[in-house]
Amino acid sequence: MKWGKMNIKIELKNIFLSYDHTVIFEDFSMQLDDNKFYTLLGPSGCGKTTILNLIAGFIKPDAGQILIDGIDVTNIEPNKRLVNTVFQDYALFPHLNVYDNVAFSLSLQKISKIEKKKRVMDALNFVNLGEYIYRDIAELSGGQKQRVAIARAIINQPKVLLLDEPLSALDLKLRTEMQYELKKLQKELAITFVFVTHDQEEALGMSDYIYVLNNGQVMQKGNPIDIYDEPKNRFVADFIGESNIISAKYLGDYQVKINNDIYKCVDGNFNQGTLVDVVIRPEDLKIVTHKTKLKVQIITRLFKGMHYEIVGQDISGEKWLIHSIKNVMPGEEVFLDFDPEDIHLMSTNV
């Protein structure tokens, strides 16, 4: 192993991949460290599942290298890789019961019955499914199937666990529950998880590190807080949470011109006169009684439980999404205020 690469678990190097004459990845690279919870986040078709398939070995790149633990596995078959997958629809074997599903990979090796049973029980207890050992797969609920799929994938002590939208088939309550469990599981197993989702809430809640992907390219990588607070571009801002994205011009000296009004801001890494995109999160917009530079007329108002989701339109025609606990009526005219640190500037190109 090379110096300085000790804790890099997975490395994708200059991957080129095309399918049916469509280029999916052009010189794609990424490094994933040991014992971290990674999320690949993006819309469908962004290439996130393809990355899992590359790591698992179901797809071979046209060019480039895949390294696991510093060892080149590019041409190694999936059944020889120390990586296991939790599939989107669980992919449990319908002709085998819970025990035999979990024991599947052990039954391919020469392992004594006693040892096998012990390891299956350990894995099932790990996912709190000890009593379901001889159940038929068809008798399980979605959440239980999910746990069987996880038990089956971790029984061989993989170095990396790949999770392909594993929560998408569950209902909302169960999904939230499983998020906590997956996070806990990753800490206990102390291995790298690579979790694929298109759900930004899941990504923000569980991950140590997020890759936001679009069209086979990394749009932004970082920890959840940075990604939420400091989106690098319009795509990330739009994809992560709801936000108001407005074209603006940076005037230099921490001043930005939005809709002919000049505001103070805290971002300053732009040249004077640069056109920028401005992000203001809806929860940062405050409806105030005093006069401000921004007056909007309320168009719609939707009760969301915790707050109202309000859309207002300013004189220039720009629409503003506001989250507020104030109850305002459609047609009403109100003033909006926000703090300089709530204005986030992004460059317009990518």
Spatial separation of the C-alpha atoms in residues 271 and 253, rounded to whole Å: 10
User: Which residue from 6, 31, 43, 93 is in contact with another protein, where contact means CB under 8 A?
Assistant: 93
- Contacts of residue 87, defined as CB under 8 A and 6 or more positions apart, other chains included, come to 149, 164, 166
- 95: CB partners within 8 A, 6+ apart: none
With CB under 8 A as the contact rule, which of the stretches 33-41, 79-87, 263-271, 306-314 interacts with another protein?
79-87
Residues from 156 through 185 that contact another protein (CB under 8 A): 156
Write out 236-263 in H/E/C secondary structure. Answer: HHHHCCCCEEEEEEEEECCEEEECCEEE
Is the CB of 87 or the CB of 270 nearer to another protein?
87
Question: Would you state the structure tokens that stand for residue 3, as one six-digit string?
Answer: 């110096």
Q: Is 225 in the site for another protein (CB under 8 A)?
A: no
Q: How far is the CB of 348 from another protein (least distance, A)?
A: 32
Q: Which of 80, 113, 291, 304 binds another protein (CB under 8 A)?
A: 80
Closer residue to another protein in complex, CB, 84/197: 84
In the bound state with another protein, the residue whose beta carbon lies nearer, of 156 and 176, is 156
Residue 76: strand, helix, or coil:
coil
User: For the window 123-152, what string marks contact with another protein as x by the rule CB under 8 A?
Assistant: -------------x-xx------------x
**Is the distance from CB of 85 to CB of 164 less than 8 angstroms?**
yes
**Shortest distance, position 148 Cβ to another protein, whole Å:** 12
Judged by CB under 8 A, which of 22, 44, 75, 79 binds another protein?
79
Strands 192-197 and 37-41: parallel
Q: Using the rule CB under 8 A, is 84 a contact of another protein?
A: yes
Among 78, 142, 205, 241, binds another protein (CB under 8 A): 78
8 Å CB contact between 155 and 149: no
Q: Which two tokens stand for residue 253?
A: 């000296």
Return phi, psi of residue 12, to 5°. -105, 125
DSSP for residue 136: B
Q: Tell me whether residue 152 or residue 198 sits nearer to another protein (CB atom).
A: 152
Q: Least separation, in Å, of the C-beta of 149 and another protein?
A: 8
AA identity, residue 241: G
Which residues in 280-309 contact another protein (CB under 8 A)?
none
Contact flag: residue 29 with another protein (CB under 8 A): no
Which of 260, 314, 303, 308 is closest to 282 using CA atoms?
308
Q: Which is nearer to another protein, 153 or 310 (CB)?
A: 153
Residue type, 191: I
Residue with Cβ nearer another protein (93 or 180)? 93
- Give min distance, CB of 156 to another protein, in A: 7
Distance separating alpha carbons of residues 255 and 16, to the nearest angstrom: 42
The H or E element that residue 303 is part of is strand 294-303
Q: Among residues 126 and 338, whose Cβ is nearest to another protein?
A: 126
**Could you tell me which stretch among 50-58, 288-296, 302-310, 331-339 binds another protein (CB under 8 A)?**
50-58
The CA-based diameter of the chain, rounded to the nearest angstrom, is 78
Tokens of 252: 């230099």
Of 47 and 57, CB closest to another protein: 57
Q: Which of 44, 75, 109, 349 binds another protein (CB under 8 A)?
A: 109
**Structure tokens belonging to residue 132:** 């379901």
Residues contributing to the site for another protein (CB under 8 A) = 56-58, 77-80, 83-85, 87-89, 91-95, 104-105, 107-109, 136, 138-139, 152-153, 156
